[in-house]
């Protein structure tokens, strides 16, 4: 197995990040510095950042993230992270992608760095659907600029997406929005560009994976079928 895939399978990081560790001379195989592209076989002893690493059985979880938690393994400001919602004793687990502090909903956590890289890489265009609640009335016509791609703060033009109204009244409008990219606070910026403020943002789907049966702040292990599905995306 190639060294970067081996490290990713050990839950160290994504393959790209593992390549960086190797290039920086922080990885050894049997006491010798590893090089990009070298192979790891049975009986080889591998160290990364001075710590011995071993292949492990990867863990996969889905969590219904509440507001007020950040998608990180730690926080220098002392804020709560999604790992605070997980049981003790799990492996070196980390969130796949991000939901901002004020957003909630579906989040995958895993020790599988290779899968995490595939699910988050922009070129793979994994669809993610969110429920967006906007103050006041938003019509289908008003969503056309968002569907077509809209210039947001910073001058970036978003990719085309799917959006449709699922509920509306004088007080608020609920919209289902499906993106294949994930820029920082992108959905909030998209609605700001048409003069609307997001009241609630909840991710409800990644591909066909949903939050069904998960209360806010709870988690469960993914099934073998769900893991196979994510690997197929």
The enclosing domain of 96 has a CATH number of 3.30.70.580
Structural domain count of the chain: 3
Burial of residue 175 (number of CB atoms within 10 Å: 0-12, 13-18, 19+): buried
Show the domain range for 154.
Answer: 127-206
Which pLDDT tens digit goes with each residue over 54-85? 877 889 999 999 999 999 888 888 899 999 99
CA distance 176 to 133: 9
Q: Are residues 172 and 216 in the same domain?
A: no
Q: Supply angle C-alpha 146, 149, 101, rounded to 5.
A: 65
Q: Are residues 177 and 141 in the same domain?
A: yes
Pair 187, 132: CB distance under 8 Å: yes
Q: Which of 22-26, 65-69, 86-90, 207-211 has the lowest mean pLDDT?
A: 86-90
Enzyme catalytic residues: 100
Q: Are residues 94 and 66 in the same domain?
A: yes
Q: Are residues 225 and 199 in the same domain?
A: no
pTM of the complete model: 0.79
Which pLDDT tens digit goes with each residue over 36-53? 989 998 889 999 999 998
- Residue 187's domain is classified under what CATH number? 3.30.70.1560
Q: Is 154 left (phi over 0), alpha (psi -120 to 50) or beta?
A: left
Q: Are residues 87 and 183 in the same domain?
A: no
- In this prediction, residue 197 has a pLDDT band, given cuts at 50, 70 and 90, of very high
Q: Are residues 73 and 188 in the same domain?
A: no
pLDDT score for 92: 77
């Amino acid at each position: 197995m190639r060294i970067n895939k081996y490290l990713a399978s050990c839950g160290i990081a994504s393959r790209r990040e593992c390549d960086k560790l190797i290039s920086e001379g922080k990885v050894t195989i049997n006491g010798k510095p590893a090089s990009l592209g070298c192979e790891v076989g049975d009986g080889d002893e591998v160290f990364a950042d001075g710590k011995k690493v071993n292949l492990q059985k990867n863990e996969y979880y889905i969590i219904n993230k509440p507001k007020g938690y950040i998608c990180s393994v730690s926080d220098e400001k002392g804020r709560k992270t999604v790992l605070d919602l997980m049981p003790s004793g799990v492996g070196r687990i980390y969130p796949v992608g991000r939901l901002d502090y004020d957003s909630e909903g579906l989040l995958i956590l895993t020790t599988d760095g290779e899968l995490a890289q595939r699910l988050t890489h922009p070129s793979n265009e994994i669809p993610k659907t969110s429920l967006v609640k906007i103050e006041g009335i938003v019509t289908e016509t008003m969503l056309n600029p968002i569907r077509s791609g809209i210039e947001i703060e910073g001058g970036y033009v978003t990719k085309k997406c799917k959006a449709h109204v699922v509920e509306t009244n004088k007080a608020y409008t609920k919209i289902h929005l499906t993106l294949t990219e994930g820029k920082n606070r992108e959905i909030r910026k998209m609605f700001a560009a048409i003069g609307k403020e997001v009241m609630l943002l909840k991710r409800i789907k990644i591909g066909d994976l949903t939050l069904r049966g998960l209360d806010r702040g709870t988690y469960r292990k993914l099934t073998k079928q769900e893991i196979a599905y994510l690997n197929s995306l």
